[in-house]
Structure 1
Amino acid sequence: MNTFRNPVIPGCYADPSVCRVGEDYYLVTSSFEYFPGVPIFHSKDLVNWRQLGHVLDRPSQLNLDGTPCSKGIYAATIRYHNSTFFMITTFVESVTGARKNFYVTATDPAGPWSDPVWLPDAPGIDPSLFFDDDGKCYVMANRQPPGGQQYPKHMEIWMQELDVTNGLLVGPKFSLWDGALKFVHAQEGPHMYKLNGYYYLIIAEGGTGHTHSVTIARSTSITGPYESCKRNPILTHRHLGLNHPVTNIGHADIVQTQDGEWWMFCLGSRPYGGYYRNLGRETFLVPFIWEDGWPVINPGKGYVELEMPRPSLPEHRWPSKPACDHFDAVNLAPEWNFIRTPRDSFMSLTDRPGHLRLKLKPETTTDFVNPSFVGRRQQHIRFAARTVLEFVPKSDKETAGLILLQNNDYQYRVEAARNEKNGVVRLVQRVEGEERTLAEHTVALAEAGKLYLKVEAIGQDYCFYFATQAELWTTLFEHADGTILSVDVAGGFSGTYIGLFASSNGESSVNHADFDYFEYMPLD
């Protein structure tokens, strides 16, 4: 059987939204506190995806200064209308701060995208756009019901017309729906579609954790009333138990292929080593059919599988990306991110061609700042990552190396540093904001020239190595606990990042660290 493997976009690419333009498909996901924001992907067969770049790739579009971990850019929606792409999303300032909705536009999905059009009178999170047959455009998102919440996290979906020409919401706000079942909380992630005379409203319910789900309602009038599907939730994994290989399925968007098939994109997680989700929430694909006017997901099974029959579309593979980034390009590859918006030029690919140079900054990865860091998502349960570093610390405050980052309080750092007398390489574990050195070895950094660093992960078993000559590895520390890199221990919504960093830890510095390459390889 011709099959594909889920997730189709592995790693913490959450809250997928998709649109089709002819024979091309475009997909966006959340990006939280990372910059650039909102990664955008392109596919011709729904299975093989290439990243075009990011929608929000300029500081003028995205100010993440001071944004806490797992805040920032939440669920985005992408739509196409009259030769223009629209992306609408929420910027979440903080745990208790404002939720600010805005949209940007482009004629080319690879960019450039416009600066934000802010919608100050659009409450809630997870906004979506719907273009009706008469040309009118509508915004919908969630909010607390005007009559008050009847139970914790009780929300409803509202809708209002958008004047796209002037970037303003006009007319009344309509209350559309507050979900399929009483006391199912966190109604969010709305998407609207029109088919066979009905307006269909798909939302997420139950929170983005284990009780996550997809529900649907319909109406012959866009303003309602909306009839809830008696089969709701139409998709969830909460009844499959904690040991199922795919959990917290929800937050869906749908698309019809040019061949007439219907497919649903949704988020989900793959726990491993127990109920630990280091990879965060990933992008999954599942087929569905229409039956009696309602969707039936993966008929006969009703859940998302790791291996499923492919769409009928011709397979279209993109050129494979090399496992090793030698930093030979003018710009960083699109899988790389910064933490929050960069405000200075601490990173260079041209100061020393063929190397990534990171200038030491006083900022660190433990604060809500923009440190000297570049990173990419962990995308596999078993993987190896390695780099080679040239760095001579000038003081005991200066460090550089390899980092595995869940958030500011949960991380592993393989650091080149120096103590009072010698150069050292050490492994630092940070848990609940407290740090301890798990291992430390003396290394003559100035004489060694190059310092090779490597991490290998087999499930939740992380092992760290170093070398002063290529492939002559010395064990730094074995069997480190990977579960501290899971959202289930560290909290938040994002998955683990693997990256490179350089810091002077609170002091000013003119020093820098050069990285010759970074290699990431799955071991599955």
Structure 2
Amino acid sequence: MDNSRRNLFKTLLAGAAAAPLSARISAAELPREIPACTPSAVPPARWGQGIEGQRNADLGDGTFLNPIVPGDHPDPTILKDGDDYYMTFSSFYSYPGLIIWHSTDLVNWAPLGPALYEPLGSIWAVDLCKHGDRYYIYIPANPDGGGWSIYAIWADDIRGPWSQPVDLNIHGCIDPGHVVGEDGKRYLFVNGIRKIRLTDDGLAADGDLQPAYQPWQYPEDWVVENFAPEGPKLLRRGDWFYLITAVGGTAGPVTGHMVIAARSKSIHGPWEHCPHNPLVRTTSDSEPWWSRGHATLVEGPAGDWWMVYHGYENGFRTLGRQTLLEPIEWTEDGWFRARGGDLSQPMRKPAGGKSGPAGFALSDNFASNRMGVQWAFHDPAPDEMTRIEYEPGGLRIAASGSSPQNSTPLTCPVGDRSYEVEVTIDLLDETAEGGVLLFYNHKAFVGLGFSVGQRKTFQCAGELEWMRAALATKSVRIRLTNRDNVVTYHYSHDDGKTWTLLDHRMEVSGIHHNVFGGFLSLKVGIYSAGTGSIRVRDFTYRAV
């Protein structure tokens, strides 16, 4: 573990280290273990069929089935702006990043485009908000590996252009949550749970970081990853400020992550624990969604209320943390409860919304620039975009590194349990190499690659040299099929008229955060290595 990550975890755990658990809560205060969800089954393949067969939450009969945004869309931050809803997510090492998504019914979501182009290293849980007529995204980033700081970008139109990042010099913090206090001043709450006042323009700190809230503590015999108070999101409703927080750790045991709440009549406290805590928690590995947490409350189109948060899909951690929607109800005592129940079953859609487009086609003929919306470089250098050039017939990608182990692949997130992709790769130079990957990070990937004279097979983040085969080619079409985490490869030298099966299949269900860290997902990737360039063309995607 590097020093920056070690220091971060020390910060996350600082609240828990203040006193032994038994010294902070009495036995009388300990809530009973909440009952297990006992779903009928892991969700069947009964989602609405979207573009290219991709799963769609909207079932077309007035109901929906989670996830509302499938695939790797963690740490959702949502903004209601009149009749429109906007959402963005942690983009980690993907650039362009911070894609803004739009909806008018909270169920059907489609991307507008990326807000961030300048690499800042790994981007964790951000906060999207509007103050006056201006939109802001507060971004925790670690651009050089030397420590975390909070940055901000802003725009006068949600569709951009967005400003260059501004460093607020709020160091050692993640998970910002913006709020305007009863004094009219702007504040950020961060992991810990701590707060700091901002200047009126929201682009600089205006004070010191201070403790804000000691979160509610779960019983010490609950199986969690660690205390880790994080993800503070705030809402003012009536006379109360509501503080929604995640505790228990983001991954690890499926029963760890959870949603808790507190309220106060002042942004400065004191904060009162919600008597219904935890509001959301996975209690059994038989449930369809694991490690549920990091929630934001949002008002629906007709005035009902909902909770947006993330979770891992049972058996498919490879897809990353996906975005979930659950109804809540306000109780007579001014608190609220989650009332989604069994998330393996359809739920009634929010009332009053207008259905719009959902998702987008992943197939790409490379006739236009889809960087950010679909394609992104993994952990790029500042000049990485100079490696690509759109030209008639496809996308030229200059080489990076000598193999997938040290190249910067172009990646595409997916949201289906099973799917098939095809792409043609033309080797434009005798020393060029290219191929298709399922890529998590440089420690974890699988794939099939070709140079002018060889076929290469990659598994466990390295080449299986015993499978290397002499093969003269300058153009090859590759098909990768991922069916329930079992990967099969085919390749063709006549543009898909005839296919050769690679007689080696791979099982990839273990390529996820609990094994390799990083909070990422397994994405389709295209790499270009060696020297010179490759051209990629006719990328097709089909959910199976």
TM-score by length of 2: 0.82
Residues 327, 356 of structure 1: 8 Å contact kept: yes
Matched, 1:436 2:464: yes
Cα deviation, 1:8-59, whole Å, max 9, x if unaligned, reads: 11111110000111101000100111111212111111111111111212x3
Aligned partner of residue 489 in structure 1, secondary structure: helix
Tell me how far apart the structure 1 counterparts of residues 444 and 400 of structure 2 sit (CA, whole Å).
Answer: 20
User: Are 2:297 and 1:259 equivalent residues in the alignment?
Assistant: no
How far 1:235 moved relative to its partner?
0.6
Number of the residue aligned with 2:426: 390
Which residue is 2:511 aligned to? 485
* 1:293 is the counterpart of 2:327: no
For residues 403 and 190 of structure 2, the distance between their equivalents in structure 1, rounded to whole angstroms, comes to 36
Q: Distance in 1 between matches of 2:242 and 2:359?
A: 38
For 1:401 and 1:42, how far apart are their aligned partners in 2?
33
Q: Name which of structure 1's ranges 331-340 and 222-231 shifts more when overlaid on structure 2.
A: 331-340
Trace 1:66-105 onto structure 2 (pairs within 5 A). 72-93=122-143, 97-105=146-154
- Within a 5 Å distance, the mapping from 1:159-174 to structure 2 comes to 159-165=195-201, 167-171=203-207, 173-174=209-210
Instruction: Give yes or no for contact 2:147–2:172 (8 Å, CA) kept in 1.
Output: no
Aligned residue among 39, 43, 47 for 2:103: 43
Structure 1 residue ranges without an equivalent (≥5): 65-71, 143-155
Give 2:322's aligned residue: 282
Query: Is this contact kept in 2: 1:404–1:499, CA < 8 A?
Result: yes
Alignment map for 1:208-357 (pairs within 5 Å): 208-209=250-251, 210=254, 211-237=256-282, 239=283, 241-272=284-315, 277-291=317-331, 292-298=333-339, 301=341, 304-305=343-344, 307-318=346-357, 321-332=360-371, 334-342=373-381, 343-350=383-390, 352-357=391-396
Note the C-alpha offset of 1:482. Answer: 1.3
Structure 2 residue runs without a partner (length 5+) = 1-60, 221-225
For residue 466 of structure 1, the aligned residue among 491, 503, 517 is 491
1:404 maps onto 2:438 in alignment: yes
Question: Counterparts of 1:20 and 1:109 in 2: how far apart (Å)?
Answer: 12
Q: Is 1:413 aligned to 2:473, yes or no?
A: no
Following the alignment from structure 2 to structure 1, what is the Cα–Cα distance between the partners of residues 234 and 200?
Answer: 18
1:167 is matched by which residue type in structure 2?
L
| Equivalent-residue separation in structure 2 for 1:190 and 1:519 (angstroms) | 40
Cα separation, 2, equivalents of 1:438 and 1:191? 52
Are the counterparts in 2 of residues 247 and 271 from structure 1 also a CA contact under 8 Å? yes
**Identical positions, percent:** 26
2:228 matched to 1:186? yes
User: 1:401 corresponds to which letter in structure 2?
Assistant: G
**Residues 18 and 78 of structure 1 are in contact (CA less than 8 Å); yes or no, is this contact kept in structure 2?**
yes
Decide whether the 8 Å contact of 1:191 with 1:202 is kept in 2: yes
User: Which of residues 219, 242, 247 is equivalent to 1:205?
Assistant: 247
Moved more, 162-171 or 281-290: 162-171
Aligned pair partner of 1:131 in 180, 193, 208: 180
| Amino acid corresponding to residue 459 of structure 1 in structure 2 | D
The amino acid of 1:444's aligned partner reads A
- Counterpart secondary structure, 2:212: strand
Query: What is the aligned partner in structure 1 of residue 3 from structure 2?
Result: none
Letter of the 1:414 counterpart: L
Deviation at 1:164, TM superposition (A): 3.0
Give the counterpart of 1:141 among 190, 195, 201. Answer: 190
Q: State the alpha-carbon separation in 1 of the partners of residues 141 and 258 from structure 2.
A: 23
- Distance in structure 2 (CA, Å) of the matches to 1:82 and 1:186: 33
- Aligned counterpart, 2:16: none
Secondary structure of 2:401's partner?
A: coil
Question: In structure 2, what is the Cα distance between the partners aligned to 1:169 and 1:491?
Answer: 31
CA–CA distance in 2 between the matches of 1:78 and 1:41?
11
Count of matched residue positions in the alignment of Structure 1 and Structure 2: 472
Report deviation, 1:468.
1.0
Using the size of structure 1 for normalisation, the TM-score is 0.85
- SS state of the match for residue 483, structure 1? coil
Partners of 2:244 and 2:451 lie apart in 1 by 52
Quickly say closer, same or farther: Cα 1:101–1:308, change in 2 above 3 A. Answer: same
Which consecutive segments of 4 or more residues in structure 1 shift more than 6 A?
A: none
Q: What is the distance in 2 between the residues matched to 1:476 and 1:344?
A: 32
| Aligned-residue offset at 1:128 | 1.2
The amino acid of 1:405's aligned partner reads F
Change (3 A) 1:73 1:215: same
Looking at structure 2, the residues matched to 459 and 331 of structure 1 have their Cα atoms a distance apart, in angstroms, of: 27
CA distance in 2, matches of 1:372, 1:138: 37
Question: Which amino acid in structure 1 is aligned with residue 488 of structure 2?
Answer: C
Residue 63 (structure 2) aligns with = 3
Contact 2:433–2:449 (Cα < 8 Å) also in 1: yes
The answer on whether the counterparts of 2:67 and 2:322 sit within 8 Å (CA) in structure 1 is yes
1:503 and 1:251 map into 2 onto residues whose CA distance is 38
Moved more, 487-496 or 39-48: 487-496
Spell out, residue by residue over 1:260-319, the C-alpha distance to the aligned partner (whole angstroms, 9 max, x if none).
1111110101132xxx510111111111111121121126x2x64463221113342227
Q: Within 1, Cα distance between the matches of 2:124 and 2:372?
A: 23
User: Equivalent residue of 1:103, what SS?
Assistant: strand
Q: Quick one: distance in 2 between partners of 1:473 and 1:463?
A: 12
The amino acid of 2:319's aligned partner reads L
Matched, 1:498 2:524: yes
CA distance in 1: counterparts of 2:313 and 2:103, whole angstroms: 23
The residue identity in structure 2 corresponding to 1:464 is: Y
Q: Distance in 2 between matches of 1:393 and 1:205?
A: 52
What is the Cα deviation at residue 133 of structure 1?
Answer: 5.6
Letter of the structure 2 residue corresponding to residue 290 of structure 1: W
Distance 1:407 1:462 in 2: 17
Q: Deviations over 1:442-494 (max 9, x none)?
A: 43214xxx311011111121101101122411101343111243333333311
AA matched with 1:63? L
Q: CA deviation at 1:379?
A: 1.4
Q: Is the 8 A contact 1:212 1:248 kept in 2?
A: yes
Deviation at 1:373, TM superposition (A): 2.5
1:52–1:438 distance in 2 versus 1, CA, 3 Å: farther
Instruction: Give yes or no for contact 2:301–2:351 (8 Å, CA) kept in 1.
Output: no
Counterpart CA distance in 1 for 2:313 and 2:202 is 43
What is the CA distance between 1:435 and its match in structure 2? 3.7
Structure 1 SS opposite 2:411: strand
CA distance in 2, matches of 1:437, 1:306: 46
Residue 19, structure 1, aligned to residue 79, structure 2: yes
Aligned mate of 1:358, from 381, 397, 418: 397
8 Å contact from structure 2 (residues 186, 202) kept in 1: no
1:67 matched to which residue of 2?
none
